[in-house]
Amino acid sequence: MTQIPSRSRVGLVESMSRRLSTVLSMVGLALLSLSSSCSNSADKSVQASGPGLTVGVTKVVKKSLGRDITLSSELVPFQEIDVYAKESGYVKKLLVDYGTHVKAGQVMAVLEIPELEAQLEQDQAEIKNAVTRSPVHNTNLPGIRHSTKLCICSTRG
């Protein structure tokens, strides 16, 4: 016969007492629930004393629980930047609307700049006059470029 050390005996006794208390509490709860569910018919014959209470009733109807709500609010952008044109002028055509997402390099507006248009017309007219006044009349254009380079080089030296 083997002997169990005294410390092991104490742990064994504590474990058994915990199990016993758990089982007893479960049995007590079961008896309590059985006794409350079984009642005498004499207890059911209780009558209300005093005037009756009036309660409003209605039929049960299946409905949607959604509601429409109209609220006023202000939308705030995540990022806001100022855009400036390189040249001042009038907006001829606007290609984006307020709040539109744009990408880098995307044309947002076409400007009308009367001063630049007048300068462009004047430059084109000067080019046309220079071409008509030249003795070669644009037939020997590579030769003109070559002689122009020679003239520029000779004046520097």
Answer yes or no: is 33 within a domain: no
Answer yes or no: is 155 within a domain: yes
Q: Record the pTM.
A: 0.31
Model pLDDT, residue 152? 43
pLDDT in tens, 31-50: 877 776 655 544 455 565 66
Answer yes or no: is 89 within a domain: no
State the Cα–Cα distance between residues 59 and 64, nearest whole angstrom.
Answer: 16
Q: Would you give the distance in Å from CA 43 to the centre of its chain?
A: 64
Answer yes or no: is 61 within a domain: no
Place of tokens 């004046």: 155
Which token pair is 92?
């001829």
Answer yes or no: is 81 within a domain: no
Answer yes or no: is 127 within a domain: yes
pLDDT in tens, 103-134: 888 998 888 888 888 999 999 999 988 888 87
Give the DSSP per-residue string, 55-85: -----------------------S-------
Q: Which domain holds residue 135?
A: 113-157
Model pLDDT, residue 137? 56
Model pLDDT, residue 36? 67
